[in-house]
Structure 1
Amino acid sequence: MSLSLDHIVIRVQDLEHTIAHFSALGFTVQRGGTHADGATHNALIGLADGSYFELIAFLRDARTHRWWDENNRVGDGFVDYALLPQSVAATIEAARERGLAYNGPIAGGRLRPDGERLEWQLGTPHSADLPFLCGDVTPRRLRVAEGEVRRHANGARGVRNLTLVVNDLDASLVRYRALLGDVDAQRAPLPGYGVEIAILPLGTTTLTLLSPSRGALERAEGLAADVREYLATRGEGVFAVSLETHPGGTSRAFDSALTHGATLELVAGS
């Protein structure tokens, strides 16, 4: 059963400031609306490959919410990502048959600013290294707008690579194979960097799992130090995203002050 990237979540404190900042970076930002529980509201950045970024902020205290950040301890940045299944229930059942437990299907929804009510189903994992599932009940075009809103002045067209940091590369690979089915995960050692990586295909996107090398010195530098610090402060999850632009386009990193701590780069298409 095929799964594709649905969206990547960036939690922020102030949604209005975030909309202004991403707009200044050349992204077309759409106001999303308020979620059904009244705890959060969002804005979206839709991409031509069908995926999108969700910029989400809390409207009230919500200590039981999976993305709640008590006293802004961790701060803005990536908090999660979602895969799009043909059926949430069928995907959960298939994963369970392969030994991986997911909660759900769980009803979800949002009221758009124009009054349109959206409904979807969720499946949530038991470990932070895995994505949640988000499958539409109402037509997906209502949740993820099509057309000109997917065009961006900076040239971003889609997600080429999503990098995740995990504590145990082998354990995470077992879970991802159970979720995605028979995928060809390529291990790619990085001698001298103090990290291990594995690359998995996900439709037009690739997933890169990144973990500290076993037996590596605790006093790490460079990439290894960044990975260890991220795991210590934010835990397992989305670490960086590479967006593709048109062939011959200019590759560049976006200012992290304007992306609210999310590491984003633009790379030229092939």
Structure 2
Amino acid sequence: MSLTLDHIVIAVSDLDAAFTDYGRLGFTVIRGGEHANGITHNVLVVFQDGAYLELIAWKRPDPGMRWSEVYHSAGEGFVDHALLPTAIEADVSAAQRRGLDMEDPIPGGRLRPDGERLEWKTARSPGSDVPFLCGDVTPRRLRVQEGEVRQHANGVTGVAELTIAVRDLGASLRRYGALLGSEAGGGVQAGDVAGSPARFATLRLGNGTAVRLATPDGSEGPLASALAARGEGPFSVVFRGGADADLDPSLSHGARLAISETRL
């Protein structure tokens, strides 16, 4: 299975402010619209490699929904990531056969500001260390727009690396491997993650994005703090293209983002 990164979800408190702030960071930001549940709405940053950032805000709390609970307890920042399946029903069945506790696909949708209605199916595991799958029912170009919206003033062309904070590296490697149908490349390493000692292993997705699963060695440092506050899930993103830079977290609404022109 050659799954690719579909999108990364960032919770924000004020969608209009996030729209403006990400523009100030050099991104081209587009209005996404309102989800079918009437509770959330979003704006998007779409990249040339086909992945995108979803900045999502709540019109009212959504008790029992993990994203809402993470946001309302820990504030703005990452809440999830998604992969794009080849055929969602078949890909979910294959992952389930390999032992992943992934639920069957369920329908979802969103109404764009221009009136275009989008439909998709998602499938999730209860554990947030692994991504959910998001497969389009309507053409993907309606959900993930093409053309000039993928050009960014800061030069970013895609997602080079996504680091996921996990509690049990071995267990998460097995779970992520069951989803992808592959083993982690390079094995477990020890090193520095955001200035703190950690152990990590890297998998590579179909579009070249490296996913680094990382667990902190100890209870101090940004990785351990994020894990304690937000639970397992995305910790940082490194974009490819543009000049090397750490992006201002006050403008990125709590998301740890960086650009590296040398990342392939």
Residue 126 of structure 1, CA deviation:
1.8
User: 2:185 maps to which residue?
Assistant: 185
The DSSP-based 3-state class of the residue aligned with 1:149 is: helix
User: 1:138 maps to which residue?
Assistant: 138
Gapped runs of 5+ residues in structure 1? none
User: 1:239 maps to which residue?
Assistant: 235
Residue 195 of structure 1, CA deviation:
1.1
- 1:210 is aligned, of 201, 214, 217, to 214
Q: Is the 8 A contact 2:184 2:201 kept in 1?
A: no
**Number of residue pairs the alignment of both structures matches:** 259
User: 2:259 maps to which residue?
Assistant: 266
Whole-Å Cα distance in 1 between the matches of residues 98 and 126 of structure 2?
15
User: 2:168 maps to which residue?
Assistant: 168
Deviations 1:72-122 (A, max 9, x none): 321000000000001111111001111112112100000000110000000
- 1:250 is aligned, of 243, 249, 254, to 243
User: What are the residue-to-residue correspondences of 1:74-113 with 2, within 5 Å?
Assistant: 74-113=74-113
User: 1:72 maps to which residue?
Assistant: 72
Residue 70 of structure 1, CA deviation:
7.4
Q: Is the 8 A contact 1:40 1:59 kept in 2?
A: yes
Q: Greater shift after overlay, 104-113 or 193-202?
A: 193-202
Output the aligned Cα RMSD.
Answer: 1.6
Identity %: 50
The DSSP-based 3-state class of the residue aligned with 2:174 is: helix
User: 1:59 maps to which residue?
Assistant: 59
Residue 27 of structure 1, CA deviation:
0.5
Residue 193 of structure 1, CA deviation:
5.0
The DSSP-based 3-state class of the residue aligned with 1:9 is: strand
User: 2:45 maps to which residue?
Assistant: 45
The DSSP-based 3-state class of the residue aligned with 2:67 is: coil
Deviations 1:222-260 (A, max 9, x none): xxx222111111111100000011xxx420010000000
TM-score calculated relative to the size of structure 2: 0.94
| 1:171 aligned partner, one-letter code | A
The DSSP-based 3-state class of the residue aligned with 2:74 is: coil
Residue 71 of structure 1, CA deviation:
8.3
Q: Is the 8 A contact 2:32 2:112 kept in 1?
A: yes
Q: Is the 8 A contact 1:161 1:243 kept in 2?
A: yes
Gapped runs of 5+ residues in structure 2? none
| 1:234 aligned partner, one-letter code | R
